[in-house]
Structure 1
Amino acid sequence: MSLAHRQRRKRPELNLVPLIDVLVMLIFFAFVTMQFKSASTLNITLPKVETAGKNEFRGNVTIAIAKDGALSFNGKDVTDAQLIEALKAVKNIDKDTPVLIRMDEKGTLDRLTFVWDACRKVGLTKHSLQSR
């Protein structure tokens, strides 16, 4: 090969601009289609606790108490009797399952004590109250 022939040969290039454009569109699409779980299922405003640490709940049982006293078990509305039956079923699977209780800051203490008492009656003793 001659010297002139070597100089005409171009190095292959990878055009990164279209790849970056596609990546940005994929990230944008992921954020638009992502569903966020929040306390808005029962329109609950969690009470603020100054001394609370981070809420690092790792269990799979969540009981929500709305300001009007309505209960929800893992996102599904339940009655008092249905809650007790659901807690019994959880205890039969694993008695060490932690229970997270989320109560609206305007909720009544009697509903909270009912949920705590229901957990203890069926044998679930690892329960915590979520705050913000």
Structure 2
Amino acid sequence: MNFRKRQRREEPEINFVPLIDVMLVILIFVMATTTYSKFAELKINLPTANAEKPADSQPQSINVAVAANGQYSINNQLTGFTTVDDFALQLRKAAGGNADPMVVIDADAQSTHQSVVNVMEAARLAGYGKLTFATQSQTGK
């Protein structure tokens, strides 16, 4: 027989307040003693040049215009061709003695995609790797 009263057993409680205080002290200590190094502190002395560029530094350019109806002109002279190889030959003639001129393609907005690709292919066959497209800004909008 058990004559003792049943006492309720108390569950142990975990008090987090001292734990938080200790963590804050550690955080303040780490923040106060840490030094932050930046990778941007790498010092590089870049070369400088004070001379002006000569006027001949711009490569010779070949202007190829493509009209909406499929006509081509090289340096403002209408030209016709039957194959892309023939057009590449005409590009070489227009370049003269320049080994690698800039080919500027000035295509009409309504010209076909294939006509522009023909110019790009002819420039590749001619051995010219510098291609650019002429654009114009829209005014009044």
Q: Return the TM-score normalized by structure 2.
A: 0.48
User: Computing the radius of gyration over CA atoms, which structure comes out larger, 1 or 2?
Assistant: 2
Aligned residues with identical type, % of pairs? 21
Structure with more contact order per residue of length (Cα contacts < 8 Å, sep ≥ 6): 1
Count of aligned residue pairs for this structure pair: 76
Decide whether the 8 Å contact of 2:59 with 2:101 is kept in 1.
Answer: no
Match of 2:108 in 1: 104
Structure 1 distance, partners of 2:70, 2:121, is: 15
The one-letter code of the counterpart of 1:67 is A
The one of 123, 126, 129 aligned to 1:125: 129
Residue 75 of structure 2: aligned partner: 74
Which contiguous aligned blocks of 4+ residues in structure 1 show a shift greater than 4 angstroms?
none
Q: How far did residue 86 of structure 1 move?
A: 2.0
Change (3 A) 1:70 1:119: same
Structure 1: gaps of 5 or more residues: 1-56
Within 5 A, what are the aligned runs for 1:20-99?
Answer: 59-81=60-82, 83-90=87-94, 93-99=97-103
Maintained 8 Å contact 2:105/2:132: yes
Unpaired runs of 5+ in structure 2?
1-57, 137-141
Q: Quick one: distance in 2 between partners of 1:71 and 1:59?
A: 19
By how many angstroms is 1:85 displaced? 2.1
Assess, with a 3 A threshold, how the Cα gap between structure 1 residues 61 and 91 changes in structure 2: closer, same or farther. closer
Structure 1 residue 89 displacement after superposition: 2.5
Q: In the alignment, residue 105 of structure 2 is paired with which amino acid? A: I
Distance 1:103 1:77 in 2: 14
Q: Please list the CA deviations of residues 11-43 of structure 1 after superposition, one character each: whole Å capped at 9, or x if unmatched.
A: xxxxxxxxxxxxxxxxxxxxxxxxxxxxxxxxx
- Compute the TM-score of the two structures, normalised by the length of structure 1: 0.51
Superposition RMSD on alpha carbons, in Å?
2.1
